């Protein structure tokens, strides 16, 4: 019967450890978290380990390849409680494999969201977000003189309200 075990990796060695284990025909997995951030007016996407320095390894109990895993480059060792290695439930692994993890830290607003413009021309003017206009600008709907006008504004000057 196969079980999933929790393994500690050396810092930022999750991918390297997974490749080294796969080369030994050992199934390994770590969930990836995809984050979208607005950095210097550009929307960037970054992928990191959901659980930094941890990896899930599938082994057949009781003695299959445990020493091979411990001696794999990038692996620190198994997480253990007392004398037994920490087993991870199969349904948790299935959930983590099927989930697409996204966070929305500093992400651009969605179409129709209320925003505020903060630049030299329009200080604290309310607007409605319409759509992105390239990597560094967005189109907003601003009401001026009882008329709605589309304007392209730098993403740095948009504040979500």
Residues 121-161: tens digit of each pLDDT: 788 888 998 888 776 788 888 887 778 888 888 888 888 87
Give the chain's mean pLDDT: 83
Angle at 143 between CA 139 and CA 149, to 5 degrees: 45
Answer yes or no: is pLDDT of 102 > 50.
no
Q: pLDDT tens across 60-97, in order?
A: 866 678 888 888 899 998 998 888 888 889 888 888 88
Q: Report how far apart, in Å, the C-alpha atoms of 73 and of each of 8, 60, 78, 130 are.
A: 12, 21, 14, 50
CA–CA distance, 127 with 118 (Å, rounded to integer): 11
**Maximum C-alpha span of the chain:** 77
What is the dihedral sign for C-alpha 86, 90, 92, 94? positive
Q: Sorting pLDDT into bands at 50, 70 and 90, what band is 101?
A: very low
Class of domain 2-103: alpha beta
Spatial separation of the C-alpha atoms in residues 27 and 64, rounded to whole Å: 12
C-alpha Rg value of the chain to the nearest Å:
24
Rounded distance between C-alpha atoms, residue 131 and residue 26, angstroms? 46
Between CA 89 and CA 69 the distance in angstroms is 19
Domain limits, CATH 2.30.30.30, in the chain: 114-160
CB 96 within 8 A of CB 26: no
pTM: 0.59
* pLDDT of 55 higher than 90: yes
- The whole-angstrom separation of Cα 161 and Cα 157 is 13
Query: Domain spanning 114-160: which CATH class is it, in words?
Result: mainly beta
pLDDT tens figures, 22-35:
999 889 999 888 87
Q: What is the pLDDT of residue 160?
A: 82
At residue 104 the predicted structure's pLDDT band, cuts being 50, 70 and 90, is very low
């Amino acid at each position: 019967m196969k079980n999933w075990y929790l393994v500690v990796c050396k810092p930022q060695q999750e991918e390297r450890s997974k490749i080294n284990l796969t080369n030994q025909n050992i199934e390994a997995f770590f969930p990836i978290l995809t984050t979208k951030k607005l950095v210097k007016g550009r929307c960037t996407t970054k992928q990191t380990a959901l659980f930094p320095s941890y990896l899930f390894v599938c082994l057949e109990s009781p003695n299959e390849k445990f020493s091979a895993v411990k001696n794999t480059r990038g692996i620190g060792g198994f997480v253990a409680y007392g004398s037994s290695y920490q087993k991870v439930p199969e349904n948790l692994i299935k959930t983590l494999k099927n989930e697409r993890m996204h966070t929305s830290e500093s992400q651009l607003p969605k179409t129709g969201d209320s925003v505020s413009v903060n630049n030299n021309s329009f200080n604290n003017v309310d607007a409605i977000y319409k759509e992105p206009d390239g990597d560094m600008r967005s189109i907003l709907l601003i009401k001026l003189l009882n008329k709605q006008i589309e304007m392209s504004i730098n993403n740095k000057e948009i504040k979500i309200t």
